[in-house]
Amino acid sequence: MFRLKTTILAVAAWTLLASAALCLSPDADPMNSAVLRELNVWERYGTLIFTGVMVLVLQTVLIVGLVISGYARVCANRALQASREEARQLSGRLLSAQEDERRRVAREMHDDLSQRLATSAVEAGMLEQRMADRPAEQKALGLLRQQLVDLSDDIHHLSRQLHPAILEDLGLAEALRTECESFARRERMAVDFRCRDLPDALPKDLGLCCYRIAQESLRNIVKHSQAAWAEVLLQADDEFLYLDIRDSGSGFEPEKAHARPGIGLASMQERARLVGGQLTIQSQVGAGTTIALRIPLVAAQE
Ligand SMILES: Nc1ncnc2c1ncn2[C@@H]1O[C@H](COP(=O)(O)OP(=O)(O)O)[C@@H](O)[C@H]1O
Ligand SMILES: [Mg+2]
């Protein structure tokens, strides 16, 4: 009990002295006297200094960590952007290599295959006429001639799909008009083509971009939409060239279409991007689809 009291008294005395910034000097004889002295700086503020230094160290470590992770993020972003740019350039080169190859195959089909088939059809026709006294052979030759004519037409059509020479000869508006007309005939669908305020001359790559996007949109309409009609509108103002392809069909959810394996929509987007344009797909299940392309004319002329 006595010890406890002594301890409590000692602690109270120490606290009192500490609050007055004093302490017992070790030089004095503890049995006879108590000499007080002032606390030195370390004794007074040691805990505070220690805590401050620790906070400073922690802050420094934190800041260095943040700087390092920020730098790593910047490096990773730069690498990501570089690889995106590389992928874009590659897809641009792929599309233009594909166009070159299509042009070559189309020319060969048109100049060689289609011509040879047309010649064979003419020869079959001449033979057919000579068989006037043999009706069975004449009929067979007539059928053969017709098949050759159809084949030649199909190849001609395919070659035009592969590379539309008309685009270079007569320009975008006429090429699209012809494409819409032959599409409407072939697929027995009402296709309304309208064109207004087009500038006299359009850059070649713009024309090809619009033509390919219209072609793929029409192909998608017949393949996926069950639409009764479609509409193609080509127009321009001072700044932009606009191409809208609208159908009255089943529509779809564009966000989900990206998950499918087809590359039609993706290559349409890519073609638009390559000429600095923007392609928007507006579609809703049951409410038809509109593909809207907008290309800046000023950028294309620079
Ligand atoms: N006009 C449209 N009407 C309805 N669905 C469409 C239309 N255009 C595209 N789609 C949908 O978008 C998907 C992706 O089209 P696309 O990328 O051209 O690939 P693919 O035609 O080879 O399937 C199609 O499978 C179809 O479900
Ligand atoms: Mg498609």
Nearest CA to ligand 1 atom 3: 225
- Residue among 252, 279, 290 whose CB has most ligand 1 atoms within 8 A, to mutate: 252
Give the DSSP H/E element, type plus range, for residue 247.
Answer: strand 240-247
For residues 176 and 280, membership in a common domain is answered with: yes
Q: Residue 128 — very low, low, confident or very high, per pLDDT cuts 50/70/90? A: very high
For residues 74 and 179, membership in a common domain is answered with: no
Burial 124-145 (b: 16+ CB within 10 A, else e): bbeebeeeeeeeeebeebbebb
Atom of ligand 1 nearest to the CA of 250: 4
DSSP code string of 15-56? HHHHHTTEEE-TTS-TTT---EEE--HHHHHHHHHHHHHHHH
For residues 178 and 296, membership in a common domain is answered with: yes
Cβ–ligand 1 distance for 290 under 6 Å, the answer no
Q: Which tens digit of pLDDT belongs to each residue from 165-196?
A: 888 888 999 999 999 999 999 999 999 999 99
191 occurs within a structural domain = yes
Question: What value does the mean pLDDT of the chain take?
Answer: 88
Q: How many domains does the chain have?
A: 2
65 occurs within a structural domain = yes
271 occurs within a structural domain = yes
Residue where a domain stops, chosen among 79, 111, 133: 79
For residues 302 and 176, membership in a common domain is answered with: yes
The CA 257 to ligand 1 mean position distance, Å, reads 7
162 occurs within a structural domain = no
Q: Which tens digit of pLDDT belongs to each residue from 5-58?
A: 777 777 776 777 666 666 666 665 656 666 677 778 888 888 999 999 999 999
Q: Looking at residue 268, which CATH number applies to its domain?
A: 3.30.565.10
Residue where a domain stops, chosen among 49, 79, 109: 79
Q: Which tens digit of pLDDT belongs to each residue from 138-172?
A: 999 999 999 999 999 889 888 888 888 888 888 99
165 occurs within a structural domain = no
For residues 176 and 302, membership in a common domain is answered with: yes
Atom of ligand 1 nearest to the CA of 216: 18
Q: Which tens digit of pLDDT belongs to each residue from 254-268?
A: 888 777 767 899 899
Residue where a domain stops, chosen among 79, 109, 135: 79
84 occurs within a structural domain = no
Of 215 and 5, the one with more pLDDT: 215
111 occurs within a structural domain = no
14 occurs within a structural domain = yes
**Ligand number, closest to the Cα atom of 285:** 1
* Residue 18, pLDDT score: 65
For residues 178 and 302, membership in a common domain is answered with: yes
Give the DSSP H/E element, type plus range, for residue 270.
Answer: helix 264-274
* Residue 5, pLDDT score: 77
Structural domain including 42 reads: 2-79
Atom of ligand 1 nearest to the CA of 265: 17
Q: How far apart are CA 266 and CA 268, in angstroms?
A: 5
Q: How far apart are CA 195 and CA 210, in angstroms?
A: 13
